[in-house]
Structure 1
Amino acid sequence: MNNKGNRFLKFSIVGGINTGIDFAIFSLLAAMGMNYLIAQIISYGGGLLNSYFLNRRWTFQQQARVEITEVVKFILVNLMTLVITSILLAFLYNELNLPLLLCKLLATGFGVFINFIGNRIWVFKNSEERGESV
């Protein structure tokens, strides 16, 4: 498997862990009667720290110290993903009347691609891709 394939596989594994955290929190909050969009925001945030550190070190192999601009970009990519997946979740649930957890699964799957692209091309560029010497 080429480097790009390995990177996406690692991203997917990290995403699976994050999704597990996300789904567990979402399911618990929804079962407790919390509004599904508020539960979405809270549960999405649940996997955010794990996502940042595992993707930074393992997936995209960033060794340099953490820069504030990288953290801000990471948060912006994730906020964009959160907004898009929340809109999709609401559409699937309210307009198509699909079961809530199925809507969550579909929205999350779509979010994986958005998040990977944003992280790969904007947040975790390695020094060679930035044109810097290694």
Structure 2
Amino acid sequence: MNLLLRILKFGLTGLLGMAIDFGATWLFKEKIKINKYVANAIGFTLAVTNNYFINRIWTFQSKNPHLGTEFSKFLFVSLVGLALNTYIIYLFHQRKNGTNFYIAKFFAIAIVFVWNFLANWLFTFR
């Protein structure tokens, strides 16, 4: 499959994941009043689960019969991404003169996108 098409599919899947992530984060932070970093982790986790299945089937067209192993790899990549995501939000929101939480989150998602694509392409779904 053409690399550009694969990146586009990964990006579209990521947009859906971002909608799930932002929606869940907003719900848990603003309405349920959970700590913003915990809310961020919940949103991220829901998006990761959704993104695994879409990327497995549509983006990378994986035929790997070992779903558990493959999902574990995807989860590992995602957890590293979550750590990066949370650190970037902390850095921008807490340390950089209080950048708006959601703007900081947007920057974090953009940076982590690059990590997630490369790691999943070269490690999870190779």
Shorter-chain TM-score: which interval? over 0.9
Aligned residues: 124
Separation (CA, whole Å) in 1 of partners of 2:30 and 2:56: 33
Q: Which moved more, 1:25-34 or 1:93-102?
A: 25-34
Q: Which moved more, 1:52-61 or 1:64-73?
A: 64-73
Separation (CA, whole Å) in 2 of partners of 1:14 and 1:101: 20
Separation (CA, whole Å) in 2 of partners of 1:38 and 1:101: 14
Separation (CA, whole Å) in 2 of partners of 1:11 and 1:58: 9
SS of 1:19's partner is helix
Partner AA of 2:9 in structure 1: K
Alignment of 1:28-47 (within 5 A): 28-32=27-31, 33-47=33-47
When normalised by structure 1's length, the TM-score is 0.88
Separation (CA, whole Å) in 2 of partners of 1:28 and 1:50: 18
Higher helix share: 2
Deviating above 4 A after TM superposition, structure 1's stretches of 4 or more consecutive aligned residues are none
Structure 2, unaligned runs of 5 or more: none
Q: Displacement, 1:35?
A: 1.1
Residue 51 of structure 2 corresponds to residue 51 of structure 1: yes
Matched-pair identity in %: 28
Alignment of 1:1-134 (within 5 A): 3-32=2-31, 33-96=33-96, 97-125=98-126
RMSD: 1.2
Partner AA of 2:51 in structure 1: S
